[in-house]
Amino acid sequence: MRVAVQRWAAWANGVEGESGWRVWARRPEAPIPGDPPDVSFLPALQRRRCDALARAMLYVAHECCPDESIASLPTVFASRHGPIATTVTLLHDLAEQRPVSPTRFSHSVHNTPAGLFSIWSGNRQPSTSVSARQESFVQGYVEALCTLHRRAARRVLFVTGDEPIPEELAALHDEGAGGYAVALLLSRDEGDAIRLARRPDEAGQPVSRAWPDALEFVRWWLSDEPTLAIAHGGIRWTWERGAEPSAS
Amino acid sequence: MTRSAPHPPCALAELGVVTALGVSIEETWPRLVAGDQSRFVERDDLSPGVVRRFGAVVADLPAVPASLRHLACRNNELALAAYQQIAGGVDAARRRFGDHRIGVVVGTSTSGIASAERAFRERAQTGRLSADFDLAQMEHGGLPEFLTLLAGVRGPHYAIATACSAGAKALVSARALLELDLCDAVIAGGVDSLCQLTARGFGALQSIATGITNPMSRNRDGLTLGEGAALFLVTRDGDGIQLLGAGESSDAHHMSAPDPAGGGAESCMRAALADARLAPEAIAYLNLHGTGTPQNDAVESKAVERVFGHGLACSSTKPLVGHLLGASGAVEAAFCWMLLARRDGDAMAVPPHRWDGATDPELAALELAKPGTRVAAPLPVAVMSTSFGFGGSNCALVLGDARP
């Protein structure tokens, strides 16, 4: 199956647009927690329903797909923690036996950004939300390939990101602080071809980076390096640009 | 007339299941076809001060191995109890294909959030989260990580987190992983566990039934929560019960209420039939989403009528085990698997729809299966299960069997 990156968009606090990301890619660093992006394209009521994660994910989805095609694309949303700030607020409410807000509860499900995206854009296509601990970007990309494979889908919008981890849980967290989102419009027809291969690699150690895998992908995509390798759990994942499809 | 199937074979080769009805297929099946509602238990700890019935698993569950202590939570204990039933099949697949060719895709909505609830209660009293709490217990991704480590496999592994459609969608992703040749076998299903978050959250939405859920009745007043797990080993075998088709859609309407027009529910059922290359008449039984909330049943009954007309035997099995949220799609597929597996000649017993029998004139009239119902099951036999979730996430599965 030929796969190409037709468009992409990314957001982190203080990094603006493609030129901003080109600057960032030359000297990459961890996202700095800060205010979520401006989502003034959303109606006011929907904007109020969006937490930091939904704002970041809808922002990059909109940047990546500014036209009406956004309503007709199947989607995959990948996030390690989902709406974790809302969940932690609910955990405090439960621990202190306070009333639970029904709206807060219904916006605590992991697929909240996907649901809000679908409602805002009027998108009725299949949508999947996935989570896979430190591997959420890589495994989400696999699910995006699964979605492309489904017979009718020529394109898929893959959106990944995490909001800053609440301070109550920060000591237990083993990754960077969060506060970023990336969208990739993957196509079987148009764009720059890309191939993902995976192979067992017992010696492959995960490389410790200050920024998440999704931003490492953006850094690589903006570089002239031919391949990107990311290792997790005894598997080496290798992206190669310009590659035509192999058997699998 | 059915055309040749567009998908290569996708077998649901092994099944492990744990619900309030039992901790094995053998224990579950007789209670399922009898419509046994005696398994619910009353609890007041999940919504403090409010007594409600829950489809709790009361049997002792296996302990999470010490080496996976950071993943020790009730959700993973339920997963382990289901996994043990398919461990032999997984071991054989791992030896045959290699550990990196076995994937794990599992749906959950709660993950082990009950462990986080305990940790935050302790924090409210002592200022510190409990020492045995690990973030992995409340992460959705903790479930596939647990099963991956337990099974000793290295294929693609992730949680589907689309609320109440997750367990069904996990089977669809498993099929795609096989068709993309990223895996040779996939452990797929769903796991969910009782917790305060869902008991009080659905309580706040006024969606919890005062008694046992009573779907499609004019007296229905909400859902009953349950817990459990269903795990399949999904393979390319041409023999055995097959995943014949799947359909998915989004409502694009509301975070916690279905689209009253039911377009998303209808389109996922039609897409599943088209994917399976089957006409509506080819479906012998429909396992409803049937939550017993006023909105769901109104929307669902009309969507079912539009797709299938009248006469298709239907039931919701939530009055037997409760609503298992992120596991419900997998568990209800497991019930469909069981009735296909326990066919008797050209006939098939189906789970009865347990309710008070009070027809709601506002709903489309469905053929709700009475106790003792057996349906004709001419070959190849096919059944459907539907799941509709928060965020407007819908999925319908068609399971079938061509074997005499």
**The CATH number of the domain where B333 resides is what?**
3.40.47.10
The alpha carbon of residue A80 and the mean position of all alpha carbons in its chain are separated, in whole angstroms, by 9
Amino acid in the structure at residue A172: L
Residue A196: strand pairing partners: A239
The alpha carbon of residue B263 and the mean position of all alpha carbons in its chain are separated, in whole angstroms, by 22
Same domain, B145 and B216: yes
The pLDDT of residue B345 is 86
Q: Which of B97, B135, B160, B270 should be substituted to probe chain A, the one whose Cβ sees the most A Cβ atoms within 10 Å?
A: B135
Q: Do B117 and A140 touch (CB under 8 A)?
A: no
- Host domain of residue B350: 244-401
Same domain, B23 and B67: yes
> Is A246's Cβ below 8 Å from some Cβ in B?
no
Domain boundary among B235, B264, B297: B235
Nearest CA in chain A to B115: A91
CA torsion angle B357 B358 B364 B366 (round to 10): 0
Same domain, B203 and B142: yes
Q: Do B176 and A147 touch (CB under 8 A)?
A: yes
The Cα A37–Cα A180 span in angstroms is 10
Secondary structure class of B375 (helix, strand, coil): strand
Q: Do B162 and A247 touch (CB under 8 A)?
A: no
Domain boundary among B194, B211, B235: B235
Does B201 have pLDDT greater than 50?
Answer: yes
The pLDDT of residue B3 is 34
pLDDT over 70 percentage in chain B: 99
Q: What is the pLDDT along chain A (248 residues), one digit of tens a residue?
A: 899 999 999 999 989 889 999 999 999 999 888 889 999 999 999 999 999 999 999 999 999 998 999 999 999 999 999 999 999 999 999 999 999 999 999 999 999 999 999 999 999 999 999 999 999 999 999 999 999 998 678 999 999 999 999 999 999 988 887 899 999 999 999 999 999 999 998 776 667 788 999 999 999 999 999 999 999 989 999 999 987 655 44
| Tokens 């005696």 -> residue | B38
Does residue B380 have a cis bond before it (omega within 30 degrees)?
Answer: yes
Domain boundary among B184, B203, B235: B235
Amino acid in the structure at residue B62: P
Secondary structure class of B119 (helix, strand, coil): helix
The pLDDT of residue A205 is 67
Q: Name the residues of B annotated as catalytic.
A: 164, 289, 323
Q: Which residues of B touch A84 (CB under 8 A)?
A: none
Secondary structure class of B287 (helix, strand, coil): strand
The pLDDT of residue A176 is 80
- The phi-psi region of residue B322 (left if phi > 0; otherwise alpha if psi is between -120 and 50; otherwise beta) is left
Q: Which of residues 61 through 100 in chain A touch B, CB cutoff 8 A?
A: 80-82, 87, 90-92, 94-97, 99-100
pLDDT over 90 percentage in chain B: 95
Contact B227, B385 (CB under 8 A): no
Same domain, B154 and B265: no
Q: Do A149 and B136 touch (CB under 8 A)?
A: no
Contacts of B208 (CB under 8 A, 6+ apart): B47, B52, B199, B202, B222, B223, B224, B225
The pLDDT of residue A244 is 66
Class of domain A2-191: alpha beta
Q: How many domains does chain B have?
A: 2
> What's the mean pLDDT when you consider all of chain B?
96
Is B1 within a domain?
A: no
Contact A230, A237 (CB under 8 A): yes
ipTM of this complex prediction, to 2 decimal places: 0.97
Nearest CA in chain A to B135: A172
Q: Does the pTM of the predicted model rise above 0.90?
A: yes
CB nearest to B390's CB, from A106, A123, A169 = A106
Q: Which residues of A touch B141 (CB under 8 A)?
A: 80, 131-133, 135-136
Same domain, B302 and B345: yes
Same domain, B276 and B181: no
Q: Which residues of B touch A128 (CB under 8 A)?
A: 160, 162, 169, 173, 248
The pLDDT tens digits for B255-309 are: 999 999 999 999 999 999 999 999 999 999 999 999 999 999 999 999 999 999 9
Enter the DSSP assignment of A21. Answer: H
CB nearest to A130's CB, from B142, B159, B263 = B159
Enter the DSSP assignment of B318. Answer: H
Length of chain B: 404
- CA distance to partner chain A, nearest, from residue B402 (Å): 24
The pLDDT tens digits for B320-352 are: 999 999 999 999 999 999 999 999 989 999 999
The pLDDT of residue A202 is 78
* Pairing verdict, β B283-287 and B313-315: parallel
